[in-house]
Structure 1
């Protein structure tokens, strides 16, 4: 039996998709960029907020648009015009993680079927923004199925001119046993960063078929050969997929936290300048992709 429930907690508007039959649920925070605040599958906690690691600093499960990761010094040029994003990364002048992670999303539609529960939410930018002076709407549809959570993102260009964009997602997955947990993904290229985590180059890199995460302080990015990343822990196994044509994977493990960020992206650090993965959306057009978290 699937249900949808709207709740309020600590001044946050939340919406919960639940499968009562198998004790699974997904909870979305509308005030915090429409992020996935909590995910549980068959009673096992997959995603949850961590003590002393608040959303403002960790961006847990943030939807990243119009850019993912970083833009060097917040500067970029589009159609021969220079723009400046506000710096929001401590200890650097970089712009970090886009513009919608702290926006308030509204509910567009809810639907319950015999095998799913879904909610569509949206944010529309109608104000003038000097750093990204384009009108757009961002729609996010979360669908909880028997064995999977899907997140479909649709970007609509509401403006009279095109704009550049990249999409990303920043979920942290619970992992209290790094020694016996590992990733599987196909890649033979890795992004090399400078000291401020800005892309320097892409190099050939042989990635082990079983990517171990124990004793590593990860902040690494890879070019994926396909759209599948698998993650295995002693408590659960999952498969993260994407319908995007070009896929990149950012991995990040915060120090002394039982979590790991496994971030699918359509572009990389400083993509507004190096153009890697950067796309353009023409006026009045839409772009859509779906990320899936399938439980194995």
Structure 2
């Protein structure tokens, strides 16, 4: 039976990637966890580390219309009536390349009543002294144009302290307000309106976040960074480019079970329910591809 686990290493970094959802299962720097991990068997909890495609976040009622045709995806978040995180997260991805410091996995999304065309989705994970560098590339291998969006779903771990004690730096000036019951988009607001202004680093405290942010500040190379740091002096950052105009941040609040274990930081090509709003949706024609990359690295 083919292995579903793939370990890679380079310098102080080690990682474990699993075929389940193409997910990053572990990432360590000198033995210190940089993401919330999970076990080698069973379902991936809380979508940790998966690749969400061909849409990120929520699709209301699993319904949308594209090029005049109505589509319906399975609702996998029944409590909110949404199709959550696309069609690739429940798949067993296949290995395309494997080396000591790099692995590439891929999966196929087929056309049907849920989606207009066939897609080939691949994700590469490679380690070097600068951290874990990842890229997701999707090709429309079918005969029809299709809407597309994607995001990774890691939960960052700054250090041994509680999440409330971590300092967050989030370079965004706007967030998407959502309904309290279904977390579906309502409209844009400034971050200062909801105690979400982390453009200057400050402790998270008790604030609860599960929102998409935009209006992102970038450096001259077009790169943006979210950083979280622990009072012990350790930290982690996630860096992404202009392919991702949005980032979802979630403080991993859970009414039952392990609470606030890490900070989900998810660069997104489009916001929640984009297949219905049309906001920043990528339109992949047959034969076209889309690529987007991100990096996770240790701080101190």
**Offset, 1:56:** 4.5
Provide the rounded CA distance (Å) in 1 between the counterparts of 2:57 and 2:247.
11
Q: 1:231 aligned to 228, 233, 238, which one?
A: 228
Q: Which residue is equivalent to 1:62?
A: 50
Provide the rounded CA distance (Å) in 2 between the counterparts of 1:211 and 1:166.
31
Listed as ranges, the matches of 1:1-296 within 5 Å are 8=3, 13-19=4-10, 21-22=11-12, 24-30=13-19, 32-49=20-37, 55-112=43-100, 117-125=101-109, 127-174=110-157, 176-194=161-179, 195-206=181-192, 207-208=197-198, 209-223=200-214, 224-226=216-218, 227-233=224-230, 234=232, 236-252=234-250, 253-255=252-254, 256-296=259-299
Query: Which secondary structure state, in structure 1, belongs to the residue aligned with residue 48 of structure 2?
Result: coil
Structure 2, unaligned runs of 5 or more: 219-223
Provide the rounded CA distance (Å) in 1 between the counterparts of 2:51 and 2:263.
17
**Offset, 1:279:** 1.0
Query: Which secondary structure state, in structure 2, belongs to the residue aligned with residue 121 of structure 1?
Result: strand
**Offset, 1:245:** 3.4
Query: Which secondary structure state, in structure 2, belongs to the residue aligned with residue 38 of structure 1?
Result: strand
**Offset, 1:291:** 0.8
Provide the rounded CA distance (Å) in 1 between the counterparts of 2:176 and 2:59.
15
Provide the rounded CA distance (Å) in 2 between the counterparts of 1:159 and 1:276.
23
TM-score of the aligned structures, taking structure 2 as reference length: 0.85
Provide the rounded CA distance (Å) in 1 between the counterparts of 2:56 and 2:265.
13
Q: Deviations over 1:13-40 (max 9, x none)?
A: 1000023x53x3110011x111001111
Count residues in correspondence.
277
Query: Which secondary structure state, in structure 1, belongs to the residue aligned with residue 276 of structure 2?
Result: helix
Moved over 6 A (4+): none
Structure 1, unaligned runs of 5 or more: 1-5
The alignment yields a C-alpha RMSD, in angstroms, of 2.1
Provide the rounded CA distance (Å) in 2 between the counterparts of 1:118 and 1:91.
38
Provide the rounded CA distance (Å) in 1 between the counterparts of 2:145 and 2:38.
39
TM-score of the aligned structures, taking structure 1 as reference length: 0.86
Provide the rounded CA distance (Å) in 2 between the counterparts of 1:230 and 1:277.
25
**Structure 1 residues 108 and 150 mapped into 2: Cα distance closer, same or farther (>3 Å)?**
same
Bigger fraction of residues in strand = 1
